[in-house]
A and B are shown apart, each in its own frame.
Chain A
Amino acid sequence: EIVLTQSPGTLSLSPGERATLSCRASQSVSSNYLAWYQQKPGQAPRLLMYAVSTRATGIPDRFSGSGSGTDFTLTISRLEPEDFAMYYCQQYGTSLWTFGQGTKVEIK
């Protein structure tokens, strides 16, 4: 099982600031099948990025993904009020998906 570790656990920032979220895998993620989700309370996760750096439909370009192998990053260039939420990374290189424990982006 691939274990994904996200850091930091909580990110306290102000609107307009840049957010950098990290996701580290215990072993190389197959074919860079790494996704990022945003989740708000009471809602299902919303896909932001897949294949490390491809934005899902309708996701604004302030969101970007990078990395390879075992180290991945989600960057939000300028935080908008609606971006304050929980973020999860996920590997889907095997049928047994695994998720990181999440990073909460909160308003400072």
Chain B
Amino acid sequence: DVQLVESGGGLVQPGGSLRLSCAASGFPFSNYSMTWVRQAPGKGLEWISYITRTSYTIYYADSVKGRFIISRDNAKNSLYLQMNSLRDEDTAVYYCVRSIGYWGQGILVTVSS
């Protein structure tokens, strides 16, 4: 079975940094592009970043461009999201997504002083 397990969330002050990880299993991770999606409390879903299989192509939403960095380690079957210069509005549940039907359970990031 496909499994995606996020970790690394928590409480961070505005301006701080956090690194999310997503451990993938049950499928050939290196064969798939990956995506991060987030959901602020009580709000809808927001696509934030995409990375191809080899990391050759990367995209970011304007809301996180220049602050967040997506990366992957195919040898470790892992996806990452380095989040810098965090703002209150980055508070959300962050989901690791393989393709449209395969989502992790999500990890909460709270940015607050």
Please give the residue numbers on chain A whose beta carbons come within 8 Å of chain B beta carbons, in ascending order.
35, 37, 44-45, 47, 50, 56, 88, 90, 92, 95-102
Contacts and interface: CB of A to CB of B under 8 A. Distances in A.
B64 to A, nearest CB: 12
B95 A47 contact: no
Given A44-B95, A44-B106, A99 B47 contact: yes
A35 B44 contact: no
A95 B47 CA distance: 10
Contact of B45 (A45, A47, A50, A96): A45
A100 B43 CA distance: 11
Interface residues of B, number: 18
Contacts of A101: 44
Interface in B24-83: 33, 35, 37, 44-47, 50, 57, 59, 61
Contacts of A92: 100
Nearest to B102: A47
Nearest to A35: B100
B103 A100 contact: no
A99 B100 contact: no
Contacts of B46: 99
15 contacts: A35-B100, A37-B45, A44-B95, A44-B103, A44-B104, A56-B101, A88-B45, A90-B100, A92-B100, A95-B59, A96-B50, A96-B59, A96-B61, A99-B44, A99-B47
